[in-house]
Amino acid sequence: MIDILIMIAALVVGILFGNLSGFVVHSDVITGILMVLVFLVGVDIGREENILSKIKVNIKHIIGQSVLTIIGTFLFAWIASFFLPYSMKETIGASAGFGWYSLSGIMISQLYSPLLGTVSFLSNVFRELLSIILLPFLAKINQRAAVSTAGATAMDVLLGLISKSTSRKNTLIAFGQGVILSLLVPLIISFIFM
Amino acid sequence: MLMLFLILAAFTTGLLLGLKKRLGFLSKFKIIPLITLLLLFSMGTEIGQSQEIMANLNSIGLNAFLIALFAVAGSFLVTLLFLKMIKTKNGETDD
């Protein structure tokens, strides 16, 4: 929760600074730093203790769970595009962060446009917040469906809450879903906006 | 296109090195949060320069919220429906 506030603060300071001073960080510099970030995120995911064996135990459920989360997100983002001033590709692309707002926002503003990057950043911040608020209630209806709402954040920010609200087995599946979606976010966003 | 390739290459290289337990020292410095903040600040300067975004911040926020609401509802409902479907087919419960 503190993290989200600090990240929003960094963005807001940047917006004020850019708006008032007219200074813009050169796009090539941002791309360079973005590559370093993506590299380090890769190292971080790979280094997670016993990540391969943790995933292997429930691999069938984890893959099914991840596919359902992706289909549900994209299907409803497509429906949302009829009510929004964005195309199907833009709306689905904005939703493709699955809650990972920092990476999706930055990637889309570099690959496509700062406008849609902003939309994506905010919509993924909202997704994480909605999931934090709703997950304990949704888990009473169905644990696995509730885990889907957490998207890529199921492996880190939401994991504690998920372990409180769901069974041990579903917590493991949730962790796996977070790993798979985190791996897919940079790939899916690249392919949508290439 | 070049950028896409570079991003994917950086990510894959990092992942493979991580799996081999190389570069573990990097995580001691909390580099990722710092770089993320730097990038968000940089992205902010681009946004702050854009009249198109600054003039429409309210509607952008509302649209973003709608996308989030649909994404959360969609992932919940599709997963729920699918699990109900296999449950009736196999007669087993998963929760």
* pLDDT tens digits, B15-43: 889 888 777 676 666 787 888 888 889 88
Q: What is the CA radius of gyration of chain A?
A: 17
pTM for the model stands at 0.84
* Predicted confidence (pLDDT) at residue B94 exceeds the cutoff of 60: no
Query: Inter-chain contact A52–B19, Cβ cutoff 8 Å?
Result: yes
> Which chain A residues touch B95 with a CB distance below 8 Å?
142-144, 166-167, 170
Tell whether B33 is within 8 A of chain A (Cβ).
yes
Instruction: Sort A50 into a burial class: Cβ within 10 Å, 0-12 / 13-18 / 19+.
Output: exposed
Encoded tokens for B68: 């989030």
Tell whether B90 is within 8 A of chain A (Cβ).
no
- The mean of the pLDDT values for chain B is 83
pLDDT digits (tens, 9 = 90+) for A74-99: 999 999 999 999 999 999 999 999 99
- Looking at residue B56, what DSSP letter applies? T
- Looking at residue A152, what DSSP letter applies? G
ipTM value greater than 0.90: no
Query: Inter-chain contact B7–A114, Cβ cutoff 8 Å?
Result: no
Distance CA B4, CA B8 (A): 6
Task: Give the SS3 label for residue A193.
Answer: coil
> Domain locations in chain A?
25-36+55-192
Low-confidence ranges of chain A (pLDDT < 50): none
